[in-house]
């Protein structure tokens, strides 16, 4: 949902049915479909446009989408990456949330735009539109819930269907601080990553600050390596090599292991 599409939706297609402090409930004309739109969405889009215009002092600009089932901790990961904080209780993401952070990598300023998407089925149509302009995707699962790991192939198919042909994909197993409740073995995640040719597998914890920055730094380094041209504005990645070997990083209760395939 770009700015133009959002404005068109406001002008032509929706009727506001109710207004509360946090949400606006609207319906699409000539349809029974209800859309819940965050009351701040216009401000978010304004922030996105102004931030993009104001901060042109960067060497690379990469857009990353964070996808996965509901309640796997995607918002906590993004929040920790943005500000280094962890909040125990988070509301489910409605549609898509946006954040931006600049990294210094090998003397280059890399601007990371991260789009935190809702995992619920009813928001899929909204979130799918963000796949097309993304340079990379991070698929998150909750390593204490086997069902969220079993959904990973579904999210890979979503990427293949709606994303660019050379989208870089990484897999993260979140909540590794709860290792005593683990239901997903790291070895199984590695096997899946190798099967689908994913860039990396990392186990993360926003609560204990484990591997959060590493996820985005690794992704940024891979994108830089795959693209010799500087990216500005809406530039996209083209002709990226697809032969990178996965990097596998587990975070256990007492030590971190690294291996490459």
CATH class, domain 57-260, is: alpha beta
Q: What is the rounded distance in angstroms from the CA atom of residue 219 to the CA atom of residue 60? A: 12
**Better-scored residue on pLDDT, 248 or 25:** 248
pLDDT recorded at residue 98? 76
Q: What is the rounded distance in angstroms from the CA atom of residue 134 to the CA atom of residue 138? A: 11
| pTM for this prediction | 0.68
pLDDT in tens, 60-93: 999 999 999 988 988 899 888 888 776 665 555 5
Strand ranges for 41-122 from DSSP E: 60-68, 96-105, 108-117
Rounded alpha-carbon distances, angstroms, from residue 191 to 15, 186, 196, 252: 48, 9, 9, 18
Least confident of 46-50, 141-145, 254-258: 254-258
pLDDT in tens, 203-260: 999 889 999 999 999 999 999 998 754 444 344 443 333 333 445 555 544 344 333 3
pLDDT in tens, 88-130: 655 555 456 778 899 999 999 999 999 888 655 544 556 677 7
pLDDT recorded at residue 27? 39
Parse the chain into domains and list their residue ranges.
Answer: 1-54, 57-260
pLDDT recorded at residue 33? 43
Provide the CA 148 distance to its chain's centre, in angstroms: 16
| Strand 60-68 with 108-117, pairing | parallel
147 pLDDT above the threshold of 60? yes
Burial group, residue 64, by CB count within 10 angstroms (0-12, 13-18, 19+) = buried
201 pLDDT above the threshold of 90? yes
């Amino acid at each position: 949902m770009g700015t133009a599409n959002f404005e068109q939706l406001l002008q032509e297609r929706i009727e506001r049915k109710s207004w509360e402090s946090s949400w606006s409930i609207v319906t699409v004309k000539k349809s029974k479909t209800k859309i819940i739109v965050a009351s701040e969405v216009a401000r978010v889009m304004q922030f996105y446009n102004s931030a993009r215009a104001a901060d042109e002092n960067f060497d690379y600009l990469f857009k990353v989408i964070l996808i996965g089932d509901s309640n796997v901790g995607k918002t906590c990961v993004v929040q920790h990456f943005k500000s280094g904080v962890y909040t125990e209780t988070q509301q489910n993401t409605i549609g898509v949330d946006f954040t931006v952070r600049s990294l210094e990598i090998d003397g280059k300023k890399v601007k990371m735009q991260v789009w935190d998407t809702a995992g619920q089925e009813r928001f899929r149509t909204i979130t799918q539109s963000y796949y097309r302009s993304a340079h990379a995707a991070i698929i998150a699962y909750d390593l204490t819930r086997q069902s969220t790991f079993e959904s990973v192939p579904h999210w890979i198919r979503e990427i293949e269907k709606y994303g660019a042909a050379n989208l870089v994909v990484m897999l993260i197993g979140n909540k590794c601080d709860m290792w005593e409740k683990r239901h997903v073995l790291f070895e199984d995640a590695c096997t899946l990553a190798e099967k689908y040719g994913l860039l990396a597998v990392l186990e993360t914890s926003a609560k204990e600050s484990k591997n959060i920055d590493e996820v985005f730094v690794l992704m940024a380094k891979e994108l830089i390596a795959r693209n010799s041209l500087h990216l500005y504005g809406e530039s996209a990645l083209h002709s990226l090599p697809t032969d990178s070997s996965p990097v596998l990083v587990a975070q256990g209760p007492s030590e971190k292991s690294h291996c490459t395939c």
